[in-house]
Amino acid sequence: MMMIPEQHHRDNRWGKSLRAVILHALITLLAVGIAFALPAGAQYILYQWWPKVAEDANLLLATEIGLAAALALLFNVSRVAWENRHKVRIADMAALVYARDTHNWFTRWRERRLVKRLPAARDAFILTLTGYNTFANADSSLHEPLKTAYEIRVMLLNPAAGSARRRVNSLPSEVTLQSFMEEIETSIAYLAGLRTQGKKITLKFYEHEPFWKVSVLGQLVWVQYCHSGFEVKHEPEYVFASNPENPRQGLFVPFYMYFPRR
């Protein structure tokens, strides 16, 4: 299993410690500010605001409505925060660091930011259909990062296999076996270009119908389900991170092992 370099571990620990210190300092300053503001606020409410309210029925009604609305808002915010905290804990347990169900300029920007934070990966493992939207297309998130990897192992669907024809037939009419083969040819040309740069490239073709699309780069694994009748690029995408401190936790290892088993 690929591990994050020790220097990167140290940098992460220092970064997390610094963020924790800054957050603690901000919370402390906020608590001190609230503590100093309480006496003045209580004095204003008791000696200035409440006497006005007691003499004005309309002002009293407005105060009661405002207080009820504020309490309802506070309770709703607290409930949402609690639910989100639970969801974040579940995501941390699964090691889910990113997910998307649409593909547009914003999601591409977020994916590029995610990849840029990665240290240079020595190895890359990719199991996909044609590879075009995974790495061959200049707009794909792994197009540039693969250029920094030394060893790249790729598995593509054999266009001459019956499973490829069944896959193409299940897709919209604009996807043909010819376009399928052209995408594979583009991917092969891209890998050939990397080979001329001294990269170690291994390319194999598989025969079975695809089930998962899996891309492993460094400490992250991109996963998409190959649903019959739908193009993979339109399927939801999930990114899981490795957890060197507890490899049994999270879904990085199961999806990582999916590639070598194929």
Structure tokens at 17: 């410690």
- pLDDT given at position 41: 66
The model's pLDDT over 136-170, given as tens digits with 9 standing for 90+, comes to 998 888 888 888 889 999 999 999 999 999 999 98
How far is 157 from 132, CA to CA, in rounded Å?
12
The model carries a pTM of 0.68
- Among 3.30.870, 3.30.450, 3.30.160, 3.40.50, name the CATH number for the domain at 96-261: 3.30.870
Residue whose C-alpha is closest to residue 131's, from 186, 87, 77, 80: 186
| One-character DSSP codes across the chain | -----HHHHHHHHHHHHHHHHHHHHHHHHHHHHHHHHHHHHHHHIIIIIHHHHHH-HHHHHHHHHHHHHHHHHHHHHHHHHHHHHHHHHHHHHHTEEEEES--SHHHHHHHHHHHHTSPPPSEEEEE-SSSIIIIISTTSTTTTGGGG-SEEEEEEE-TTSHHHHHHHHHS-TT--HHHHHHHHHHHHHHHHHHHHTT-EEEEEEE-SPP-EEEEEETTEEEEEE--TTS-GGGS-EEEEE--TT-TTSSSHHHHHHHHHH-
The model's pLDDT over 171-182, given as tens digits with 9 standing for 90+, comes to 888 889 999 999
Query: Average pLDDT in the 186-206 region?
Result: 94
- Give percent of the chain above pLDDT 90: 31
The β-bridge partners of 240 are 96, 221
Query: Average pLDDT in the 78-96 region?
Result: 80
pLDDT at 16 over 80: no
Residue boundaries of the structural domains of the chain: 9-94, 96-261
Q: Spell 2-39 as b/e; 16+ CB within 10 A means b.
A: bebeeeeeeeeeeeeeeeeeeeeeeeeeeeeeeeeeee
- pLDDT given at position 153: 95
The model's pLDDT over 89-123, given as tens digits with 9 standing for 90+, comes to 887 888 888 888 877 777 777 877 877 777 777 88
